[in-house]
Structure 1
Amino acid sequence: MISQLPLDEQLDALRDALSRNEVLTEVLSRSASLDLPGWYLTAGCLFQTVWNTVTDRAPGEGIKDYDLFYFDATDLSWEAEDAVIQSAKQVFADVPAEVEIRNEARVHLWYEEKFGTPCPAYMSTEDAIDSFAATTCCLGVRLEQPGDRWRVYAPHGLSDVFNLVVRPNPVLAPRHVYEAKASRWRRHWPELTVLPWPTAATPT
Protein backbone atom coordinates (compact mmCIF):
# COMPACT_ATOMS: atom_id res chain seq x y z
CA MET A 1 0.00 0.00 0.00
CA ILE A 2 1.48 3.33 -1.08
CA SER A 3 0.37 5.18 2.07
CA GLN A 4 2.58 2.86 4.14
CA LEU A 5 5.71 3.53 2.12
CA PRO A 6 8.48 5.85 3.36
CA LEU A 7 7.79 9.47 2.44
CA ASP A 8 10.39 9.62 -0.32
CA GLU A 9 8.78 6.60 -1.99
CA GLN A 10 5.33 8.18 -1.61
CA LEU A 11 6.67 11.24 -3.41
CA ASP A 12 7.98 9.02 -6.20
CA ALA A 13 4.54 7.38 -6.42
CA LEU A 14 2.89 10.81 -6.55
CA ARG A 15 5.10 11.94 -9.39
CA ASP A 16 4.48 8.68 -11.25
CA ALA A 17 0.71 9.07 -10.89
CA LEU A 18 0.66 12.74 -11.91
CA SER A 19 2.95 12.10 -14.88
CA ARG A 20 0.31 9.82 -16.39
CA ASN A 21 -1.90 12.87 -16.93
CA GLU A 22 -0.41 14.43 -20.06
CA VAL A 23 -2.54 17.55 -19.77
CA LEU A 24 -1.32 18.08 -16.22
CA THR A 25 2.35 17.72 -17.12
CA GLU A 26 1.88 20.12 -20.03
CA VAL A 27 0.18 22.69 -17.79
CA LEU A 28 2.91 22.23 -15.20
CA SER A 29 5.64 22.83 -17.78
CA ARG A 30 3.97 25.89 -19.28
CA SER A 31 3.21 27.31 -15.84
CA ALA A 32 6.93 27.28 -15.07
CA SER A 33 7.54 29.42 -18.15
CA LEU A 34 5.29 32.17 -16.74
CA ASP A 35 7.75 32.73 -13.87
CA LEU A 36 4.98 33.70 -11.45
CA PRO A 37 6.03 34.37 -7.83
CA GLY A 38 5.33 31.52 -5.43
CA TRP A 39 3.30 29.56 -7.97
CA TYR A 40 1.84 26.08 -7.57
CA LEU A 41 -0.42 23.88 -9.62
CA THR A 42 -2.84 22.74 -6.96
CA ALA A 43 -6.17 21.30 -5.82
CA GLY A 44 -8.39 18.96 -7.84
CA CYS A 45 -6.20 18.39 -10.85
CA LEU A 46 -3.62 16.78 -8.54
CA PHE A 47 -5.59 14.64 -6.11
CA GLN A 48 -8.16 13.68 -8.73
CA THR A 49 -5.42 12.46 -11.06
CA VAL A 50 -4.22 10.25 -8.19
CA TRP A 51 -7.77 9.02 -7.57
CA ASN A 52 -8.09 8.16 -11.25
CA THR A 53 -4.80 6.30 -11.22
CA VAL A 54 -5.67 4.34 -8.07
CA THR A 55 -9.12 3.39 -9.43
CA ASP A 56 -7.90 2.52 -12.94
CA ARG A 57 -9.67 5.40 -14.67
CA ALA A 58 -8.25 7.58 -17.41
CA PRO A 59 -5.82 9.99 -15.71
CA GLY A 60 -7.73 13.15 -16.61
CA GLU A 61 -11.26 11.84 -16.12
CA GLY A 62 -13.65 14.10 -14.19
CA ILE A 63 -11.14 16.95 -13.76
CA LYS A 64 -13.02 20.22 -14.18
CA ASP A 65 -10.07 22.60 -14.38
CA TYR A 66 -6.42 23.10 -13.50
CA ASP A 67 -5.83 25.58 -10.66
CA LEU A 68 -2.71 27.71 -10.90
CA PHE A 69 -2.06 29.81 -7.79
CA TYR A 70 0.58 32.48 -7.37
CA PHE A 71 1.31 35.13 -4.76
CA ASP A 72 2.03 38.77 -5.58
CA ALA A 73 1.30 41.29 -2.84
CA THR A 74 2.98 44.17 -4.68
CA ASP A 75 -0.22 45.04 -6.56
CA LEU A 76 -3.58 43.89 -5.19
CA SER A 77 -5.66 45.40 -7.99
CA TRP A 78 -7.91 43.25 -10.14
CA GLU A 79 -6.29 44.87 -13.18
CA ALA A 80 -2.88 43.45 -12.25
CA GLU A 81 -4.29 39.96 -11.72
CA ASP A 82 -6.29 40.14 -14.93
CA ALA A 83 -3.17 41.15 -16.85
CA VAL A 84 -1.55 37.89 -15.69
CA ILE A 85 -4.68 35.92 -16.61
CA GLN A 86 -4.87 37.41 -20.08
CA SER A 87 -1.16 36.85 -20.74
CA ALA A 88 -1.43 33.24 -19.57
CA LYS A 89 -4.35 32.61 -21.92
CA GLN A 90 -1.90 32.82 -24.79
CA VAL A 91 0.43 30.33 -23.11
CA PHE A 92 -2.36 27.80 -22.52
CA ALA A 93 -4.38 28.55 -25.67
CA ASP A 94 -3.97 25.09 -27.22
CA VAL A 95 -4.15 23.09 -23.98
CA PRO A 96 -7.38 21.02 -23.97
CA ALA A 97 -8.41 22.13 -20.48
CA GLU A 98 -9.36 25.23 -18.53
CA VAL A 99 -6.50 26.70 -16.51
CA GLU A 100 -7.80 28.93 -13.71
CA ILE A 101 -5.25 31.42 -12.41
CA ARG A 102 -5.57 33.28 -9.10
CA ASN A 103 -3.36 35.66 -7.15
CA GLU A 104 -3.77 34.36 -3.61
CA ALA A 105 -2.63 37.71 -2.17
CA ARG A 106 -6.03 39.09 -3.27
CA VAL A 107 -8.37 36.37 -1.99
CA HIS A 108 -9.33 38.19 1.21
CA LEU A 109 -10.77 41.00 -0.94
CA TRP A 110 -13.55 38.82 -2.43
CA TYR A 111 -13.83 35.63 -0.36
CA GLU A 112 -16.49 36.78 2.10
CA GLU A 113 -18.81 37.99 -0.64
CA LYS A 114 -18.57 34.65 -2.41
CA PHE A 115 -18.58 32.23 0.54
CA GLY A 116 -20.10 34.22 3.43
CA THR A 117 -17.06 33.85 5.68
CA PRO A 118 -14.30 36.44 6.22
CA CYS A 119 -10.88 35.40 5.01
CA PRO A 120 -7.71 36.78 6.59
CA ALA A 121 -5.08 37.97 4.16
CA TYR A 122 -2.80 35.12 3.14
CA MET A 123 0.94 35.50 3.61
CA SER A 124 1.93 33.03 0.88
CA THR A 125 0.56 30.56 -1.62
CA GLU A 126 1.22 27.79 0.90
CA ASP A 127 -0.94 29.69 3.38
CA ALA A 128 -3.79 29.63 0.86
CA ILE A 129 -3.39 25.91 0.18
CA ASP A 130 -3.54 25.28 3.93
CA SER A 131 -7.08 26.68 4.01
CA PHE A 132 -8.74 24.35 1.49
CA ALA A 133 -12.02 22.81 2.66
CA ALA A 134 -10.53 19.29 2.82
CA THR A 135 -7.06 18.35 3.97
CA THR A 136 -6.95 15.97 1.01
CA CYS A 137 -6.96 19.05 -1.24
CA CYS A 138 -3.95 20.61 0.47
CA LEU A 139 -1.44 19.70 -2.18
CA GLY A 140 0.67 21.78 -4.53
CA VAL A 141 3.33 21.02 -7.14
CA ARG A 142 5.64 23.24 -9.15
CA LEU A 143 8.78 22.90 -11.24
CA GLU A 144 11.97 24.53 -10.08
CA GLN A 145 15.34 24.98 -11.71
CA PRO A 146 17.79 23.45 -12.17
CA GLY A 147 16.52 20.46 -14.08
CA ASP A 148 12.81 21.08 -13.60
CA ARG A 149 12.93 19.64 -10.09
CA TRP A 150 9.48 18.95 -8.66
CA ARG A 151 8.67 20.87 -5.50
CA VAL A 152 5.77 19.26 -3.63
CA TYR A 153 3.85 20.99 -0.85
CA ALA A 154 1.74 18.52 1.14
CA PRO A 155 1.20 19.77 4.72
CA HIS A 156 -1.07 16.84 5.60
CA GLY A 157 0.97 14.18 3.83
CA LEU A 158 -0.19 11.93 1.01
CA SER A 159 -1.82 8.99 2.77
CA ASP A 160 -5.40 10.25 2.45
CA VAL A 161 -4.88 11.09 -1.21
CA PHE A 162 -3.77 7.56 -2.07
CA ASN A 163 -6.32 5.96 0.28
CA LEU A 164 -9.25 7.88 -1.32
CA VAL A 165 -10.12 9.55 1.98
CA VAL A 166 -11.72 13.01 2.03
CA ARG A 167 -11.08 14.65 5.40
CA PRO A 168 -12.55 18.02 6.46
CA ASN A 169 -10.28 20.98 7.16
CA PRO A 170 -12.40 23.36 9.28
CA VAL A 171 -10.03 26.34 9.35
CA LEU A 172 -11.78 28.66 6.90
CA ALA A 173 -14.26 27.20 4.41
CA PRO A 174 -17.79 26.72 5.84
CA ARG A 175 -19.27 23.27 6.36
CA HIS A 176 -21.63 23.61 3.39
CA VAL A 177 -18.69 24.22 1.05
CA TYR A 178 -16.95 21.05 2.23
CA GLU A 179 -20.11 18.97 2.00
CA ALA A 180 -21.00 20.27 -1.47
CA LYS A 181 -17.53 19.51 -2.79
CA ALA A 182 -17.43 16.08 -1.17
CA SER A 183 -20.85 15.21 -2.57
CA ARG A 184 -19.81 16.23 -6.06
CA TRP A 185 -16.59 14.24 -5.86
CA ARG A 186 -18.33 11.15 -4.55
CA ARG A 187 -20.75 11.14 -7.47
CA HIS A 188 -17.79 10.73 -9.79
CA TRP A 189 -15.56 8.64 -7.51
CA PRO A 190 -17.97 6.49 -5.44
CA GLU A 191 -14.98 4.64 -3.96
CA LEU A 192 -14.21 7.67 -1.78
CA THR A 193 -14.54 7.60 1.98
CA VAL A 194 -15.92 11.01 3.00
CA LEU A 195 -15.39 11.83 6.67
CA PRO A 196 -18.03 13.99 8.38
CA TRP A 197 -17.55 17.62 9.32
CA PRO A 198 -16.70 17.79 13.06
CA THR A 199 -19.75 19.10 14.89
CA ALA A 200 -17.70 21.23 17.28
CA ALA A 201 -15.68 22.86 14.51
CA THR A 202 -16.11 26.56 13.87
CA PRO A 203 -14.08 28.14 11.05
CA THR A 204 -11.85 30.93 12.34
Structure 2
Amino acid sequence: MEYRNELIYILTKDELIIEILTIVKNLELNDCWVGAGFIRNKVWDTLHEKKTIKFNDIDVVFFDETNISEKLEKEIEQKLTEINSKIKWSVKNQARMHFRNNHLKYRNTENAISYWPETATAIAARLNLNDKIEILAPHGLNDLFNLIVRSTPNFDLIVFQKRINEKQWGKQWGNLKFYNNNS
Protein backbone atom coordinates (compact mmCIF):
# COMPACT_ATOMS: atom_id res chain seq x y z
CA MET A 1 0.00 0.00 0.00
CA GLU A 2 2.91 2.33 0.69
CA TYR A 3 4.13 2.28 -2.94
CA ARG A 4 0.57 2.81 -4.18
CA ASN A 5 0.28 5.96 -2.06
CA GLU A 6 3.71 7.13 -3.18
CA LEU A 7 2.76 6.61 -6.83
CA ILE A 8 -0.49 8.53 -6.38
CA TYR A 9 1.47 11.34 -4.73
CA ILE A 10 4.00 11.48 -7.61
CA LEU A 11 1.24 11.56 -10.22
CA THR A 12 -0.82 14.14 -8.34
CA LYS A 13 2.10 16.58 -8.28
CA ASP A 14 2.43 16.65 -12.09
CA GLU A 15 -0.01 19.04 -13.79
CA LEU A 16 0.40 17.44 -17.23
CA ILE A 17 -0.36 13.99 -15.85
CA ILE A 18 -3.50 15.26 -14.13
CA GLU A 19 -4.54 16.99 -17.36
CA ILE A 20 -4.06 13.76 -19.33
CA LEU A 21 -5.93 11.67 -16.76
CA THR A 22 -8.79 14.21 -16.82
CA ILE A 23 -9.00 14.20 -20.61
CA VAL A 24 -9.10 10.39 -20.67
CA LYS A 25 -11.64 10.20 -17.85
CA ASN A 26 -13.95 12.50 -19.81
CA LEU A 27 -14.01 10.01 -22.70
CA GLU A 28 -16.15 7.78 -20.44
CA LEU A 29 -14.79 4.58 -21.98
CA ASN A 30 -15.34 1.24 -20.25
CA ASP A 31 -12.52 0.05 -17.97
CA CYS A 32 -10.29 2.84 -19.29
CA TRP A 33 -6.77 3.59 -18.02
CA VAL A 34 -3.57 5.38 -19.00
CA GLY A 35 -0.44 3.35 -18.55
CA ALA A 36 2.92 1.92 -19.57
CA GLY A 37 5.77 4.42 -20.06
CA PHE A 38 3.51 7.25 -18.95
CA ILE A 39 3.69 5.91 -15.39
CA ARG A 40 7.02 4.10 -15.48
CA ASN A 41 9.06 7.00 -16.83
CA LYS A 42 7.60 9.48 -14.36
CA VAL A 43 8.54 7.25 -11.43
CA TRP A 44 12.01 6.49 -12.79
CA ASP A 45 12.59 10.21 -13.36
CA THR A 46 11.49 10.98 -9.81
CA LEU A 47 13.71 8.28 -8.31
CA HIS A 48 16.66 9.47 -10.41
CA GLU A 49 15.91 13.12 -9.57
CA LYS A 50 15.76 14.12 -13.22
CA LYS A 51 13.29 15.12 -15.88
CA THR A 52 13.61 13.38 -19.20
CA ILE A 53 12.25 14.58 -22.47
CA LYS A 54 8.48 14.33 -22.88
CA PHE A 55 6.59 11.06 -23.29
CA ASN A 56 6.97 9.13 -26.57
CA ASP A 57 3.25 8.57 -26.56
CA ILE A 58 0.40 8.25 -24.12
CA ASP A 59 -1.04 4.73 -23.96
CA VAL A 60 -4.80 4.81 -23.39
CA VAL A 61 -6.31 1.38 -22.87
CA PHE A 62 -9.91 0.34 -22.41
CA PHE A 63 -12.02 -2.80 -22.60
CA ASP A 64 -15.10 -2.89 -24.84
CA GLU A 65 -16.19 -6.25 -26.24
CA THR A 66 -19.12 -4.67 -28.11
CA ASN A 67 -16.85 -2.95 -30.66
CA ILE A 68 -13.39 -4.37 -31.24
CA SER A 69 -12.67 -2.52 -34.48
CA GLU A 70 -9.41 -0.66 -34.96
CA LYS A 71 -11.54 2.07 -36.51
CA LEU A 72 -12.98 2.87 -33.08
CA GLU A 73 -9.46 3.22 -31.65
CA LYS A 74 -8.48 5.60 -34.47
CA GLU A 75 -11.62 7.67 -33.91
CA ILE A 76 -10.78 7.99 -30.21
CA GLU A 77 -7.18 8.93 -31.05
CA GLN A 78 -8.47 11.61 -33.42
CA LYS A 79 -10.79 12.97 -30.73
CA LEU A 80 -7.91 13.08 -28.25
CA THR A 81 -5.69 14.83 -30.80
CA GLU A 82 -8.39 17.46 -31.29
CA ILE A 83 -8.42 18.01 -27.51
CA ASN A 84 -4.62 18.15 -27.20
CA SER A 85 -2.59 17.96 -30.40
CA LYS A 86 0.76 18.30 -28.59
CA ILE A 87 0.44 14.73 -27.34
CA LYS A 88 0.90 11.60 -29.43
CA TRP A 89 -1.98 9.36 -28.34
CA SER A 90 -2.04 5.58 -28.67
CA VAL A 91 -5.45 4.01 -27.99
CA LYS A 92 -5.97 0.26 -27.78
CA ASN A 93 -9.08 -1.71 -26.94
CA GLN A 94 -7.76 -4.56 -24.82
CA ALA A 95 -10.79 -6.66 -25.78
CA ARG A 96 -9.12 -7.25 -29.17
CA MET A 97 -5.42 -7.22 -28.32
CA HIS A 98 -5.29 -10.96 -27.55
CA PHE A 99 -5.64 -11.56 -31.31
CA ARG A 100 -2.58 -9.47 -32.09
CA ASN A 101 -0.57 -10.97 -29.24
CA ASN A 102 -1.65 -14.57 -29.88
CA HIS A 103 -3.00 -15.01 -26.33
CA LEU A 104 -6.19 -16.37 -24.89
CA LYS A 105 -8.98 -13.82 -24.67
CA TYR A 106 -8.42 -11.20 -21.97
CA ARG A 107 -11.06 -10.81 -19.26
CA ASN A 108 -10.60 -7.09 -18.64
CA THR A 109 -7.98 -4.35 -18.82
CA GLU A 110 -6.12 -5.58 -15.74
CA ASN A 111 -5.80 -9.06 -17.21
CA ALA A 112 -4.63 -7.59 -20.51
CA ILE A 113 -1.91 -5.40 -19.01
CA SER A 114 -0.63 -8.33 -16.97
CA TYR A 115 0.74 -9.48 -20.35
CA TRP A 116 2.65 -6.26 -21.04
CA PRO A 117 6.43 -6.69 -21.39
CA GLU A 118 7.90 -5.61 -18.04
CA THR A 119 6.51 -5.61 -14.52
CA ALA A 120 7.47 -1.93 -14.20
CA THR A 121 5.55 -1.16 -17.41
CA ALA A 122 2.42 -3.20 -16.59
CA ILE A 123 0.95 -0.36 -14.56
CA ALA A 124 -1.88 2.06 -15.29
CA ALA A 125 -3.74 4.90 -13.62
CA ARG A 126 -7.03 6.73 -13.98
CA LEU A 127 -9.21 9.26 -12.26
CA ASN A 128 -12.33 7.81 -10.68
CA LEU A 129 -15.72 9.55 -10.48
CA ASN A 130 -14.48 11.51 -7.44
CA ASP A 131 -11.34 12.65 -9.31
CA LYS A 132 -9.13 10.45 -7.14
CA ILE A 133 -6.31 8.52 -8.79
CA GLU A 134 -6.73 4.75 -8.96
CA ILE A 135 -3.83 2.43 -9.76
CA LEU A 136 -3.88 -0.84 -11.67
CA ALA A 137 -0.77 -2.95 -11.08
CA PRO A 138 -1.29 -6.70 -11.65
CA HIS A 139 2.36 -7.43 -10.76
CA GLY A 140 2.55 -4.91 -7.96
CA LEU A 141 4.71 -1.81 -7.68
CA ASN A 142 7.84 -3.23 -6.02
CA ASP A 143 9.85 -3.58 -9.23
CA LEU A 144 8.87 -0.09 -10.40
CA PHE A 145 10.01 1.57 -7.18
CA ASN A 146 13.07 -0.65 -6.73
CA LEU A 147 14.19 0.19 -10.29
CA ILE A 148 14.01 -3.45 -11.38
CA VAL A 149 13.41 -4.28 -15.03
CA ARG A 150 12.19 -7.82 -15.56
CA SER A 151 9.71 -9.49 -17.86
CA THR A 152 6.20 -10.28 -16.77
CA PRO A 153 5.49 -14.01 -16.36
CA ASN A 154 3.49 -14.10 -19.60
CA PHE A 155 5.96 -12.27 -21.87
CA ASP A 156 8.38 -13.90 -24.32
CA LEU A 157 11.92 -13.63 -22.88
CA ILE A 158 13.58 -13.31 -26.31
CA VAL A 159 11.31 -10.40 -27.24
CA PHE A 160 11.87 -8.92 -23.77
CA GLN A 161 15.67 -8.98 -24.17
CA LYS A 162 15.42 -7.45 -27.65
CA ARG A 163 13.20 -4.70 -26.24
CA ILE A 164 15.67 -3.96 -23.42
CA ASN A 165 18.51 -3.71 -25.93
CA GLU A 166 16.54 -1.36 -28.17
CA LYS A 167 15.18 0.90 -25.43
CA GLN A 168 18.58 1.55 -23.84
CA TRP A 169 16.89 2.57 -20.57
CA GLY A 170 20.10 2.03 -18.62
CA LYS A 171 21.69 5.00 -20.38
CA GLN A 172 18.84 7.28 -19.35
CA TRP A 173 18.26 5.89 -15.86
CA GLY A 174 21.61 4.63 -14.55
CA ASN A 175 20.34 2.94 -11.39
CA LEU A 176 18.11 0.40 -13.12
CA LYS A 177 18.73 -3.29 -12.45
CA PHE A 178 18.00 -5.72 -15.30
CA TYR A 179 16.93 -9.34 -14.98
CA ASN A 180 16.63 -11.80 -17.87
CA ASN A 181 13.95 -13.89 -16.19
CA ASN A 182 11.15 -13.75 -13.65
CA SER A 183 13.33 -14.55 -10.66
Task: State the TM-score, normalizing by the size of structure 1.
Answer: 0.80
Map residues 15-30 of structure 1 onto 2, 5 A cutoff. 15-30=8-23
User: In the alignment, is the contact (CA less than 8 A) between 1:105 and 1:124 conserved in 2?
Assistant: yes
User: In the alignment, is the contact (CA less than 8 A) between 1:40 and 1:68 conserved in 2?
Assistant: yes
Identity within the alignment, %: 28
Cα distance in 2, alignment partners of residues 89 and 55 from structure 1: 31
| Residue in 1 that maps onto 2:142 | 159
Q: 1:140 to 1:68 in 2, by over 3 A?
A: same
Match of 1:109, SS? helix
- Deviation of 1:150 after TM superposition, in Å, equals 1.5
Cα distance in 1, alignment partners of residues 12 and 182 from structure 2: 35
Cα distance in 2, alignment partners of residues 43 and 196 from structure 1: 19
User: In the alignment, is the contact (CA less than 8 A) between 2:115 and 2:152 conserved in 1?
Assistant: yes
Cα distance in 2, alignment partners of residues 21 and 182 from structure 1: 27
| Residue in 2 that maps onto 1:71 | 63
Number of aligned residue pairs: give it. Answer: 181
Cα distance in 2, alignment partners of residues 105 and 174 from structure 1: 21
Deviation by residue 1:121-165 (Cα, 9 ceiling, x = unmatched)? 2121111111111112221111111x2021111222222111111
| Residue in 2 that maps onto 1:131 | 115
Q: 1:99 to 1:79 in 2, by over 3 A?
A: closer
Q: Indicate the RMSD between aligned Cα atoms, in angstroms.
A: 2.0
Which residue of 22, 26, 40 maps to 1:47?
A: 40
Which residue of 5, 30, 33 maps to 1:12?
A: 5
User: In the alignment, is the contact (CA less than 8 A) between 2:77 and 2:89 conserved in 1?
Assistant: no
Match of 2:134, SS? strand
| 2:180 maps to 1:187 | no
Cα distance in 2, alignment partners of residues 62 and 91 from structure 1: 18
In terms of Rg, which structure is larger?
1
Q: Which runs of 5+ in 1 are unaligned?
A: 1-6, 112-117, 200-204
Match of 1:41, SS? strand
| Residue in 1 that maps onto 2:127 | 143
Task: State the TM-score, normalizing by the size of structure 2.
Answer: 0.88
| Residue in 1 that maps onto 2:50 | 57
Q: 1:16 to 1:25 in 2, by over 3 A?
A: same
Q: Which runs of 5+ in 2 are unaligned?
A: none
The 10-residue stretch of structure 1 (189-198 or 126-135) with the greater mean CA deviation from structure 2: 189-198
